[in-house]
């Protein structure tokens, strides 16, 4: 197994997808396909494994080796209003881990934003009544305008939706469990709506006011102006680095496979006597070995996940 493994993404087509990802990742979209909504850049999940020279990651590693999943998401329309379950519920009901995630905004049109958490005073009964009356659920949610460099943590149990015209990187627990509670009354060309998961959503949405305070979402702005540790969960630690001048950093890791995702510029990663060059929007992983460290040299912005 190579000590540095560059990756190619798994492409996920979505009814709400935009045009950007097919261009920057050079992935053709057939006329009969939905647009490209997500690219799973670092994934060992069976539903969408990233590809290395040695094969799909899910055939080489398990979800203990790589318990996180890293995506790019590009939206031309709103995503569904949805929620992800906590580990306990997901394990009991879905035989899966839960899904906490976070977003790094890479671009957004003026006025674009995300829906995150319920507004004060919204309880489970109010929300259930709104669902049954086919009301617009977005009016019960907090809306945050976004711009490049914003960061949001979305803990499991948070009702949320990414709005239209947003391009972001998402780092999450390696789970594909999503409960849709409302889909903007959207239908496909055949008049069919996507499946909703109302009862499961109501089971796991956190309505308690303290949980929905902005401080719980660890919101930060202008993260590309500095080096930051953005988040630490049981399944991953996330670091953001940004430099306008040539730099070199050393990264050590020990718990699990580490990875890098380049957001801008170009870097060279070196481990032992092996080097790889990575450009904007490219990713690589570093398997566990006796010596678990690597260096990064270059200019630009990138994420380290370990």
Paired sense of beta strands 258-271 and 283-286, if any? antiparallel
Q: In terms of DSSP H, where are the helices of 44-138?
A: 87-93, 124-132
Of residues 281, 241, 277, the one with CA closest to residue 107: 281
Helix, strand, or coil (residue 184): coil
**CA 232 – CA 239 distance, rounded (Å):** 9
Q: What share of the chain is helix, strand, coil (3-state, %, to 5)?
A: 15, 45, 40
Evaluate whether 144 touches 176 at the Cβ level (below 8 Å). no
Give the H or E element holding residue 144.
strand 141-145
Nearest to 164 by CA among 25, 299, 35: 35
Beta bridge partners of 73: 38, 168
Q: Is the dihedral of CA 233, 155, 194, 27 positive or negative?
A: negative
- What span, in angstroms and rounded, lies between the C-alpha atoms of 84 and 100? 7
- The terminus-to-terminus CA distance of the chain in angstroms comes to 19
Q: 180 an active-site residue?
A: yes
Which among 92, 180, 186, 194 is annotated as catalytic?
180
Alpha carbon distance 171, 16 (integer Å):
20
Catalytic residue annotation: 180
């Amino acid at each position: 197994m190579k000590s540095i493994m560059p990756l190619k993404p798994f492409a996920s087509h979505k009814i709400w997808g935009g045009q950007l990802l097919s261009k920057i990742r050079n992935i053709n979209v057939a006329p009969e396909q939905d647009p490209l909504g997500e690219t799973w850049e670092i994934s060992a999940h069976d539903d969408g494994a990233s590809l290395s020279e040695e094969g799909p990651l899910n055939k080489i590693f398990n979800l203990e080796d790589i318990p996180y999943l890293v995506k790019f998401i590009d939206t031309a329309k709103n995503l569904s209003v949805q929620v992800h379950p906590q580990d306990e519920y997901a394990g009991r009901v879905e035989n899966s881990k839960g899904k906490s995630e976070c977003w790094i905004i890479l671009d957004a049109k003026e006025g674009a934003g995300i829906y995150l958490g319920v507004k004060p005073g919204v309880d489970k009964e109010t929300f259930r009544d709104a669902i049954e009356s086919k009301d617009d659920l977005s009016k019960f949610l907090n809306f945050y305008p976004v711009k490049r460099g914003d960061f949001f943590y979305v803990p499991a149990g948070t009702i949320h939706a990414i709005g239209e015209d947003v391009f972001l990187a998402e780092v999450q627990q390696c789970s594909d469990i999503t409960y849709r509670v409302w889909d903007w009354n959207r239908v496909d060309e055949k008049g069919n709506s996507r499946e909703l998961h109302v009862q499961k959503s109501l089971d796991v949405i956190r309505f308690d006011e303290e949980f929905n305070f902005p401080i719980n979402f660890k919101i930060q702005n202008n993260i590309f102006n500095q080096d930051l540790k953005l988040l630490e969960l049981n399944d991953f630690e996330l670091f953001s680095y940004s430099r306008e001048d040539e730099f070199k950093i050393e990264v050590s890791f020990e718990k699990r496979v580490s990875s890098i995702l380049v957001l801008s510029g170009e870097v060279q990663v070196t481990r032992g006597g092996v080097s790889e060059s990575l450009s904007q929007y490219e990713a690589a992983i570093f398997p566990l070995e006796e010596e678990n460290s690597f260096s990064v040299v270059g200019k630009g912005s990138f994420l380290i996940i370990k």
